[in-house]
A and B are shown apart, each in its own frame.
Chain A
Amino acid sequence: MVESSQNDQTKSLVDALKSRDQRTRSQAFEDIYVHNFPIIEKYVLANGGISAEAKDIFQDGIAILYAQLIKDKFRGESSINTYLFSICRNLWFKEIKKNKKSNQMKKDHAQDTDQYVDEPLESDKTLAVFKLFNTLEKDCQKVLELFYFEKLSMTEIAQEFGFKGEQSAKNKKSKCLKRLRALIQQNPSVYSQFQNL
C-alpha cells in the first residue's frame, strides 16, 4: 500500500516534470530543487567540495535527470529523489577524479548499486555543432529541440507554435535543419571534423 502510494507520487512527479504546461513543469522543478539541493550540498561539502561546486553538480544532475525522463530511461525502480542523488553522486565522483581529489572521497561510493548509467561526455565535434546551433534563430532552436530531443510529433510541434497544421511544422523543421547543415558546411573548422572518419 505504502509502496503503491510512493509509486503514484513518483509517477505524478515524472508527469509534472515532463509536462508541456510551463507552469506545472516549473513548479515541479522548483519542488525538486528546494527539496534536494540541501542534501546534495551537504554531500559535496562532506566530500571536499564547496557550495558553488555543489550547485553546478546539482544543476547538471537535474539536467541529466530530465534527459533520462524524456528518453524514458527512468524505470521508476526508485524515487526521483534517490535517482537524482545517485546521478549527482556519480557526477561528483567524476569531478573528484578529474581533479585528483579521490583521497577526499568517502568510501561509500564503492558500494553504489544505483541503476543510473553515466552519460558519455560530449565530443568536440558535438560542441562545435552546438555553437552553430546557438546561432540559429530562437524559433529554429526550439523546433529542433522539440523534434530531436523532446521527440514531439509534427502535430504536437504545430500546436506548440500555433501553426495551422502539421505541414507548416514540417516545413519549419526542414528549413531550420537545412540552415544548420549549411552553417556546418560553411564552417571549415567544424566540417573538417566530420571528414575522414
Chain B
Amino acid sequence: MNQEYFERCENYLLDKMSTEERSNFEKELTQNEALRSELEIAKAIHSSAELSVKARLKQELDVIHQTHFDSTKDNVEEFEQASRRNVIPAIVIGLLAVLLIWAAAKMLMNEEPVTQTIYAQNFAVPKLDFTYRGGSTDRFFQLLESSYEEGKYNDFIKQVDDRDSLLTSNPRLMLAKGIAHLEIGEASEARTNFKKLMENAFYRDQANWYIGLSYLKEDDVTNAQKFFKIISRSESRFRDQSIEILKKI
C-alpha cells in the first residue's frame, strides 16, 4: 500500500483537487496500476461507511416496523400469499394452517405468556419515602413505610384507605398504593391510582411506565403498547426499557 497515493485518491474522491490536478490525476490513473489499486481501496472505504450507516438505519427502522406493523395478522397474510404464489394446493395449505394453529395453541398452553415474562423482567418495586415532615402523623407514616417495605401490601392498602384524604396531598403514597395493588394482582385498581398521578408532571413518567406494566400483567398488549410508545418517544429514564419491551411484544 502506498500512503502518498492513498492521500491523493482521498483528495480526488473528496473533491479537493483543482481542475488541473484532477485532469493530471485521471491521466496518471490510466498508466499507474498502484494508483488505480489505491483509488479502488479508497472508494471501497467510502462505500463501506455508507453501507454501515444504512445498516444502522435499518436496525432503527426494524424497531419502528415492529412497533407499528408487526402482528400475527401479517404472518397469516404472508403465509397465504406465499402459498398462492407457489401454487401449493389449497388442501395442503389448509392442513398446514391447522397444524400451525394447533402447534401455536399447544405452545401457548404449555408456556407462560411472553407478556408475563417481560413484566417480571421489568417490574421493580420502587423504594419510596413517605415520611411526613413534622406533625402528628409521623408514626402513621412510619407504619405505612414498614408495611410497604415488608411487602404487606394488603395491610398497606387498608391503612391508606383509612386515611384517604392524605392520598391527594401525597403523590408518593398514591404511587405506592398503585404498586401495592399491582403486587396483589389488582391491576385495574392500580391503574386508577397511577392515572391520578398523571396530573402531577413530576410523576407522569412513572405513571405511564407502571400503567404500561399493569396492562402487560393483564396480557393486554394493545393498551400496554400505547403507554410504552409514549415513553419511547420521551426523554424518560424508562425509554430504553420501553423500546426493548415494544420490540418483544
Contact = CB atoms under 8 A, between A and B. Distances in A.
Interface of A: 23, 26-27, 29-30, 33-34, 37, 45, 48-52, 55, 59-60, 62-63, 66-67, 122-123, 125-130, 132-134, 141, 144-145, 147-150, 177, 180-181, 184-185, 194-197
Contacts of A147: 49
B44 A126 contact: yes
B156 interface: no
Interface string B49-92: 11111100110111011001100001001100110010000000
A93 to B, nearest CB: 17
Contact of B47 (A33, A50, A126): A126
A37 B33 contact: no
Contacts of A128: 44
Interface string B159-195: 0000000000000000000000000000000000000
Nearest to B46: A148
Given A33-B68, A63-B54, A126-B44, A148 B49 contact: yes
Interface residues of B, number: 36
Given A29-B61, A59-B58, A50 B85 contact: yes
A47 B85 CA distance: 11
Interface string B223-239: 00000000001010000
Interface string B27-57: 0000001001100110111111111111001
A53 to B, nearest CB: 9
A180 B48 CA distance: 11
Given A126-B51, A133-B45, 5 more contacts: A33-B61, A33-B64, A130-B52, A148-B50, A197-B37
B1 interface: yes
Contact of A130 (B6, B48, B60): B48
B25 to A, nearest CB: 16
Contacts of A23: 235
A133 B52 contact: yes
Given A50-B82, A55-B65, A125-B40, A145 B1 contact: no
Q: Which of A33, A147, A177, A195 has the largest number of chain B CB atoms within 10 A?
A: A33
27 contacts: A26-B60, A37-B69, A45-B81, A49-B81, A50-B77, A52-B78, A55-B69, A59-B58, A123-B44, A125-B44, A126-B51, A129-B44, A129-B48, A130-B47, A130-B51, A130-B52, A141-B52, A144-B48, A144-B52, A149-B46, A149-B49, A180-B45, A181-B1, A184-B1, A184-B41, A194-B37, A194-B40
A181 B33 contact: no
Q: Kindly list the 6 A-B residue pairs having the minimum CB-CB distance in the complex, ordered from nearest.
A: A148-B49, A63-B54, A129-B44, A133-B48, A130-B48, A149-B49
Given A45-B81, A130-B47, A181 B53 contact: no
Q: Which of A29, A30, A128, A148 has the largest number of chain B CB atoms within 10 A?
A: A148
A33 to B, nearest CB: 5
Contacts of B1: 181, 184-185
B41 A129 contact: yes
Nearest to B82: A50
Given A51-B77, A63-B54, A197 B33 contact: yes
Nearest to A48: B85
Q: Which of A34, A48, A51, A128 has the largest number of chain B CB atoms within 10 A?
A: A51
B40 A51 contact: no
Contacts of B33: 196-197
A194 B37 CA distance: 5
A29 B53 contact: no
Contacts of A133: 45, 48-49, 51-52
A144 B61 contact: no
Contacts of A194: 37, 40-41, 44
B45 A148 contact: yes
B53 A145 contact: yes
B45 A144 contact: yes
A123 B235 CA distance: 41
A149 B53 contact: yes
B13 to A, nearest CB: 9
Contact of B60 (A29, A60, A185, A196): A29
